[in-house]
Amino acid sequence: MSHIVTFVANRQAGSLTAAEANRAQVFAQGFDLTWLDEGRAFEFSVQNVPDRAALAAGLDHKQVDIFVTKSRGRRKAVLVADMDSTIVTAETLDELAAFAGLKEQIAEITRRAMNGELDFAAALRERVAMLKGLKLSALEATWSEIQFCPGARELVATMRAHGATTALVSGGFTFFTARVTAEIGFDLHRSNVLLDNGSELTGEVAEPILDKDAKLSTLRELAEKRGVKLAATLAVGDGANDLPMLKEAGLGIAYHAKPVVAAQVANRVEHTDLTSLLFAQGYPASAFKTGE
């Protein structure tokens, strides 16, 4: 089966040239070169999967993400996205901890958990316990500072416009996933529930905890509900708890990922934004929707 190689450049670092595109195509023995966005993204077909590092080395532009996908079934029917550091720029639990004066301590635990150095569920319980007694007003204050990753709106709006089911599935908390879902336009969200007594956090999280296995189960469930194979799914995330779904999805993309994830997922966004997930599916920039 033939594959498609897609190149997406960080436009802030310059544009891709026709000469670079042609040179890459010749190197990879590719054919049917097509520009998805002039100066920003192009693709071509190949019979044999080329070496990404060698392709990147042959480009003058040094901030280019390269994706390799099967030529059949490129546009996916299901999207499952992580939230923290994927759809939103921050780790929401770390930002919440700032209101308790514990951001550094909790962020270090988060870092280790997201790199697979700690058990996710145990690390989540530990961090939440440290927030016992924090006023609920801190949740709203945290939300008011949250920013979305570039391309998040376009990713979800474009896939929904083309009939895909879009889900936000996070090891974070429903307080935030519900708001992100409403703001960005996901079809559904799943995450953990922070417990409170009506005025303060109790330092507990509802069981069972949504972890890596639950993320993978959601991917499988949504594919089954849509009546499609896993080959028709797309997953994106950055942490160790995203790895199982990234590996099993038809197209798994690591987004500015932690080292343990980057080492195991070949398709990675390292220089660009979430619209690269659309280019990787063959959507031209002219097909993007803004969601506004």
Active-site residue list = 82, 84
Residues with Cβ within 8 Å of 248's Cβ and at least 6 positions away in sequence, in order, are 216, 219, 220, 230, 235
**Whether 234 contacts 79, CB under 8 Å:** yes
Beta strands per DSSP E along 197-250: 201-205, 233-237
The Cα 127–Cα 110 span in angstroms is 8
Would strands 3-9 and 188-192 be described as parallel, antiparallel, or unpaired? unpaired
Strand partners for 68: 5
The crossing angle, in degrees rounded to 10, of helices 120-129 and 103-114 is 170
> Around Cβ 206, how many Cβ atoms within 10 Å?
12
The Cα 121–Cα 241 span in angstroms is 10
Residues with Cβ within 8 Å of 137's Cβ and at least 6 positions away in sequence, in order, are none
Query: What does the angle CA 65 – CA 68 – CA 74 come to, to the nearest 5 degrees?
Result: 115
- The residue behind tokens 């993320």 is 215
